[in-house]
A = this chain, B = another copy of it.
Amino acid sequence: MTPTLIEQESEIVGIARRARQAARWLASLPYEVRCEALAIAMALMEERKQEILEANETDCAIAEAKLAKGEISSAFFQRLQTSEAGIGHMIRQVRDVAALPDPLDKLISLTELDDNLILEKITCPIGLLGIIFESRPDIIPQVVALAIKSGNALLLKGGTEARQTNEVLVSIWHESMARLNGFPCDAINLLHTREDVQEMLHLDRYIDLIIPRGSRDLVRDVARHSTIPVLGHGEGICHIYVDQAADLQKAWNIVFDSKTQYPAACNSVETLLVHEAVAPDFLPEMCESLRCAGVEVRGCARSIALLADITPATEVDWETEYSGLVISVKIVRNCADALDHIERYGSRHTECIVTEDQDAANEFLQRVDAAGVFQNASTRFADGYRYGFGAELGISTGKLHARGPVGLEGLITYKYRLIGNGQIVATYTSGTRKFKHRSLSVVR
């Protein structure tokens, strides 16, 4: 509730309240105006490229000292650093979003409840979103583009290390919005401190959704403290089950790609489950190849009997997202065993079966409870760009609202519009009239 005495309002509450008002305006701007903001921002990023690079150099200089002291990792430093090519990539990301169709005011269903009493279910923006991310400044152009395209306002909180870069990037969006008459500039806001985040996570009166983008620890910490719904994913413990009817060459390709193509990704594989009938033919060569690629293999008792020099896998291994060059291997008696293991240890992210047996595949695809269930394809395909969404806001392992890779539609909800000419409920409860409930059309 807005405080009656406006003086009591904290700075963040003021920002959130104004952003919420801006969201209402943004939602009603014509599609062309929202697109124009993206077009101007792309041009400005090109124009103000030098300024972005200089700000990033300043950030990097400070971060370098932290790197030397071991306060940040070199991976962290690399994510912070941008370049001319990096800015080109940011511009392309905005262009990808610009190319997406308008997600607003789409009719989902239309029902004639009675004569001249029409119920429309129609898409609309969620409202005000809180985005929390770590060092990567390139998140800003993509997320702001997605938000403006979908009519949502933003509170952005980036990593302190990227502060200068983030400020220039946000100022570019403010300049773009300021050039458009009547564009609500309060829609996009950058917060600065950890305390800001703590306060933000409790503004459930103003903020509709929190999206943390970054490490597992960040997501877990945000989910634990937020009174606002959170869209994100905790863990990516993905499995590949190589069935007795697998084409072993396909299995080799898929496992190798899923583990080594980008091991830090949440959609890379952590545990390999192999049917006992094919384990002797498959595992020795597979594991040798993985080890040549620098992957440490940890195995169950049965796989140890088959493979030389591997570490025994413990209970902890089955529950671990390695996010690196380690894989655990388990030999199973059948598909049901594989399903039980996945049900027990999987994080509902992405699970794959390799098989030529369509019955086994169907059972797996039907029974596994995960955002993505794959047959004969690398787990690394679980990604918004590869799915063809044009942009990815993140991956959700929750089951409500948006599941799996989330594109623009993750920022959209719906409302019901009922258009009558004076109808009242008493007419229907008394039996004077009956509802028709005639579906007029479904566009989507």
Which A residues have a C-beta under 8 Å from some C-beta of B? 1-2, 4, 21, 24, 27-28, 111, 113, 117, 119, 126-127, 208-209, 229, 231, 247, 249-250, 253-254, 256-258, 261, 315, 319, 343-345, 361, 365-367, 369-378, 380-382, 386-388, 398-401, 403-405, 413-426, 428-429, 435, 437, 442, 444
Contacts and interface: CB of A to CB of B under 8 A. Distances in A.
A117 B374 CA distance: 10
Contacts of A381: 113, 117, 418, 420, 423, 425
Nearest to A436: B388
A386 B113 contact: yes
A423 B361 CA distance: 16
Contact of A426 (B24, B127, B261, B435): B261
Given A374-B420, A404-B416, 12 more contacts: A117-B377, A119-B387, A370-B415, A371-B416, A373-B416, A374-B418, A374-B419, A377-B422, A378-B423, A399-B413, A401-B401, A444-B444
Contact of A24 (B361, B367, B428): B367
A371 B344 CA distance: 37
A382 B420 CA distance: 13
Given A422-B254, A425-B261, A426-B257, A373 B415 contact: yes
Contacts of A1: 319, 344-345
B421 A250 contact: yes
B403 A415 contact: yes
A233 to B, nearest CB: 14
B111 A387 contact: yes
A417 B376 contact: no
Contacts of A372: 415-418
Nearest to A265: B425
A309 to B, nearest CB: 27
B425 A375 contact: no
Contacts of A398: 229
Given A388-B437, A444-B442, A444-B444, A261 B404 contact: no
A405 to B, nearest CB: 8
A424 B253 contact: yes
A366 B345 CA distance: 46
A444 B401 CA distance: 17
Contacts of A315: 4
Contact of A374 (B258, B369, B387, B417): B417
A317 B184 CA distance: 31
Given A24-B367, A424-B261, A437-B388, A376 B419 contact: yes
A377 B419 contact: yes
Contacts of A444: 442, 444
A117 B250 CA distance: 14
A327 B296 CA distance: 70
B388 A111 contact: yes
A343 to B, nearest CB: 7
